[in-house]
Amino acid sequence: MRLVYFAHSLASCWNNGNAHFLRGVLRELIELGHDVVAFQPRDGWSIANLLADHSPRALTAFAAAYPELQPVSYGPGLDLEACVANADVVIVHEWNEPWLVSGLGRIKARGGRFTLLFHDTHHRTVSEPDAIAGFDLDGYDAILAFGEALAEVYRRRGWGKNVHVWHEAADIRLFRPPEQETIRSGLVWIGNWGDDERSEEITDYLLRPAANAGFPLDIYGVRYPDEAIETLKAYGARYFGWLPNAHVPDVFSHHLATVHVPRRLYAERLPGIPTIRVFEALACGIPLVSAPWDDTERLFRPGEDFLLARSPVKMLKHLLALKHDAELRQALAANGLATIRSRHTCRHRVEELLRIVDGIRPEPAEVAA
């Protein structure tokens, strides 16, 4: 099978968690013998910010971790017809320009023989519905939505059975426990501050309880304005800035625990969709505590795979327990890792994708007709 994927960026993970998942999925497809080509805009928002903050050297971690992935960067004048020539499956991520989304739909409508899928891994269906409604999805065969709550939005818009839930997952070729344990200490959070998407929650469920528990806290991420940096300092947290995703397993391996702080839109309006860091953290065998979040799809086993804090008081209690109870840490790490390996790897998602595609493709008799 020849698969063509149009990503916002595969090379840059700067405020682009979707890249983590896509890298793992595309690598698994290649491992299974499929022909994979990925396209990304040369001046996309993620890679432009990464290069502005750092330099081209910031791309070396991706290249070293994923040598089999060599995305094609394009500028103006991209020939979409040539891009999808001989493709069996074409997947278009939601974080693309409308002209590209509609252009591929028109090629399909004119007789393109490939299966065309729209992949949504964002909250814009509820936060910016007009922007998503502006996409011309005529010609698309189906929607891939990264959670049931998001899939339901598309169903209400008339997509019916042509919406498929396709959760993110952990790339366990990269995210795995360390081969040899070292001394662990403190708490780590790897996440972005953003546009007031969870600033109160970060304070209430991370900064304040960590300080009150006497838990040293290291923070990595981007989009921290000056006032956010001052808030981190006020609570004694150490801020390290952007971290290449390929280096995350090593950082996890030096800390006792991590925390899941979902964005407000996912906690309130798109329940059941965790950040990809939950999959990655559990795959690395680091104990995790989550701020309020409803696992409506039963992806995990709350209380066994991770601890759930429904209030800041409960978060403090959980952090103190993790700080002092080695057996609790070991049990959470083992349970979470087992759940990831049994249900939530990129290989699992590739198998799901192939079943979805097989269910969409017409039978030979239909093609002949």
Kindly report, residue by residue over 196-241, the tens digit of the pLDDT.
Answer: 889 999 999 999 999 999 999 999 999 999 999 999 999 999 999 9
Q: What integer pLDDT is reported at residue 362 of this predicted model?
A: 65
Q: What integer pLDDT is reported at residue 215 of this predicted model?
A: 97
Task: Say which residue the tokens 């923070």 belong to.
Answer: 219
At 188, phi and psi to the nearest 5? -130, 140
**Which tokens in the block code for residue 64?**
């070293």
Q: Measure the CA dihedral 70/73/78/80, to 10°.
A: 30
pLDDT at 364 over 80: no
Residue with the bigger pLDDT between 191 and 195: it is 191
pLDDT at 344 over 90: yes
**Which tokens in the block code for residue 212?**
């009150």
Q: At what angle do helices 276-283 and 326-343 cross, to 10 degrees?
A: 110
Summary mean pLDDT of the chain: 95
pTM of the model: 0.95
CA 112 to chain centre: 30
Measure the CA–CA gap between 47 and 56, rounded to whole angstroms.
Answer: 10
Measure the CA–CA gap between 330 and 353, rounded to whole angstroms.
Answer: 33
**Which tokens in the block code for residue 89?**
């499956």
Q: What integer pLDDT is reported at residue 196 of this predicted model?
A: 81
- Partnered with residue 41 across adjacent β-strands are 74
Kindly report, residue by residue over 305-335, the tens digit of the pLDDT.
Answer: 999 999 999 999 999 999 999 999 999 999 9
Residue with the bigger pLDDT between 132 and 262: it is 262
CB-CB contact of 198 with 261 (8 Å): yes
**Which tokens in the block code for residue 218?**
């290291």
Kindly report, residue by residue over 64-119, the tens digit of the pLDDT.
Answer: 999 999 999 999 999 999 999 999 999 999 999 999 999 999 999 999 999 999 99
Q: What integer pLDDT is reported at residue 335 of this predicted model?
A: 98
Which pLDDT band holds residue 132 (cuts at 50, 70, 90)? confident
CATH placement of domain 2-169+346-368? 3.40.50.2000
pLDDT at 365 over 60: no
Task: Say which residue the tokens 């304070």 belong to.
Answer: 203
pLDDT at 180 over 90: yes
Sequence ranges of the domains in the chain: 2-169+346-368, 187-343
Kindly report, residue by residue over 4-18, the tens digit of the pLDDT.
Answer: 999 999 999 999 999
**Which tokens in the block code for residue 223?**
């989009």
Mean per-residue pLDDT, 283-289: 98
Do 2-169+346-368 and 187-343 come out as alike in CATH topology?
A: yes
> Could you count the other beta carbons within 10 Å of the beta carbon of residue 302?
14
pLDDT at 163 over 90: yes
Write out the DSSP string of 189-201. EE---TTTSSHHH
Decide yes or no: CATH 3.40.50.2000 for domain 187-343: yes
pLDDT at 179 over 80: yes
